[in-house]
Amino acid sequence: MSQELHEPDDEINVDVQAQNPQKVTAAEIEDAIKKKLEKEPTELGKFSRRDKVTIICRRR
């Protein structure tokens, strides 16, 4: 299979056409790259400032 992975670029030309392994499709590679860029939220992090306001607004 021969697929263009990237539009020719004036600055950085990426042409893997010649070495592209037969078993890997361009879509698979793009999908893998997308996954590597994904961020998964953790439950580690600061409180929101909004919560502090809640304390104040509950007052009478």
Partner 1 sequence: MNVTLVTAPIATDFSDRCEIASCLDEREVSEPQLGVLSLAAVLQSRGDNVRVVDLDQAYFAYLKTSKDTCPRVFSEEAARLIFADRADVYGFSSICSSYPLTIRIAQAIKAAQPESIILLGGPQASVVDRQTLAAFLFVDFVIRGEAELALPVFLDELASARQLNLVPSLTYRWQSEPHRNSTAPVIEDLDSIPLPAYHLVGGLHGATRASLELGRGCPFACTFCSTNDFFRRRFRLRSPNRVLLDMRALAAAYGVREFELVHDMFTVDKRRVESFCEAMLASGEAFKWACSARTDCVDEKLLELMSRAGCTRIFFGVETGSPRLQKIIDKHLDLERAEQIISTTEQLGIRSTVSLITGFPEETQEDLQQTLRMFMLSVRCPRSVPQLNVLAPLAETPLYWEHRDELILGELCSDMSRQGASQEVEDLRLIKTYPEIFPNFYLIPTPRLDLESILELREFALNSVEHFRWLLSAIDQTTRDILGFFLGWRNYRLRTRSGLRGLDLRRYYRTGDFRRDFISFVQSNPAADSEIVQIFLEYTDALRYSKLGITPTGQITEPITSQDRLRWSDIPVRSNDISLVELSCDIQRVIDGLKLQIEPVWERGSHFYVASERSGIGERFQQISTELGRLLQACDGQRSVEEVSGQLSTELCEINESLRTYVIVRLLQGARAEGLINVYRGDTYRPKSKVGATS
Q: Are 13 and 37 in contact (CB under 8 A)?
A: no
Total site size for partner 1, rule CB under 8 A = 45
Q: Are 26 and 3 in contact (CB under 8 A)?
A: yes
Q: Does 35 bind partner 1 (CB under 8 A)?
A: yes
Question: Cβ of residue 4: shortest distance to partner 1, in angstroms?
Answer: 12
Residue that is written with structure tokens 């004036």 in the block: 10
Question: Cβ of residue 13: shortest distance to partner 1, in angstroms?
Answer: 5
Q: What is the DSSP letter of 50?
A: H
Q: Would you tell me which residues interact with partner 1 (CB under 8 A)?
A: 5-6, 9-16, 18-21, 24, 29, 32-60
